[in-house]
Amino acid sequence: MTVPPVYCATADSAVEAFVRASLKGSRVTVCRSAAELLKAWKGPGLAVIDSVLPDMGGRDLVAVLRGAPRTARSTLVLLGRGPHSPAAAAACFDNGADEYFTLPADPRLFRARLLNLLARGGACAAPQKPAEYAFGALRVSPEARTASIKGAPLRLTALEFDLLMYFLRNQGRVVSRSVLLEQVWRLDCAASARAVDKRIEALRAGLGRSYGAKIRTVFGLGYIFKL
Amino acid sequence: MKSRPKVLVVDDEPDYLRIAARIAAKAGCAVLTAPTALEGVALACAERPDMILLDVGLPDISGFEAARRMRKDPALAAVPIIFFTVRSELDMVTEGLKLGAAGYVLKPFDPDELLRRIKAAVSVP
Do A97 and A169 share a domain, yes or no? no
Q: Supply the mean pLDDT for chain B.
A: 92
Site from B93, B95, B116, B123 to mutate, A interface, most A CB atoms within 10 angstroms: B93
Whether A111 is covered by a domain: the verdict is: yes
Q: For residue range A188-217, what is the model confidence (pLDDT) as tens digits?
A: 545 577 778 888 999 999 998 889 999 999
Cβ-Cβ contacts under 8 Å between A and B: the total is 81
ipTM: 0.86
Chain A contacts in chain B segment 23-62 (CB below 8 A): none
Higher pLDDT, A171 or A1: A171
pTM (predicted TM-score)? 0.77
CATH code (residue A25)? 3.40.50.2300
Domains of chain B: 6-99+106-116 (3.40.50.2300)
Are residues B39 and B63 in contact, defined by beta-carbon separation less than 8 angstroms? no
Count of residues in chain B: 125
Within 8 A by CB and 6+ apart from A128, the residues are A121
Least confident of A29-33, A100-104, A130-134, B40-44: A130-134
Do A164 and A65 share a domain, yes or no? no
Test A173 with B108 for CB contact under 8 angstroms.
yes
Within 8 A by CB and 6+ apart from A45, the residues are A4, A5, A6, A7, A74, A75, A123, A124
Do A202 and A99 share a domain, yes or no? no
Q: How far apart are the first and last CA of chain B?
A: 17
Are residues A58 and A9 in contact, defined by beta-carbon separation less than 8 angstroms? yes
Number of domains in chain A: 2
Test B19 with A64 for CB contact under 8 angstroms.
no
Residue B16 is nearest to which of A35, A176, A224, comparing CB atoms? Answer: A176
Structural domain boundaries enclosing A190 = 158-225
Whether A177 is covered by a domain: the verdict is: yes
What residues of chain A lie within 8 A of the CB of B88, using their CB?
60, 63-64, 67
Per-residue confidence (pLDDT) for residue A130, from 0 to 100: 60
State the smallest CA–CA distance between residue B49 and chain A in angstroms: 19
Per-residue confidence (pLDDT) for residue B1, from 0 to 100: 55
State the smallest CA–CA distance between residue A39 and chain B in angstroms: 8
Q: For residue range A84-139, what is the model confidence (pLDDT) as tens digits?
A: 777 777 777 777 888 888 888 888 988 888 888 887 765 444 445 566 778 888 88
Q: A179: pLDDT confidence band, cut at 50, 70 and 90?
A: confident
pLDDT at B12 over 70: yes
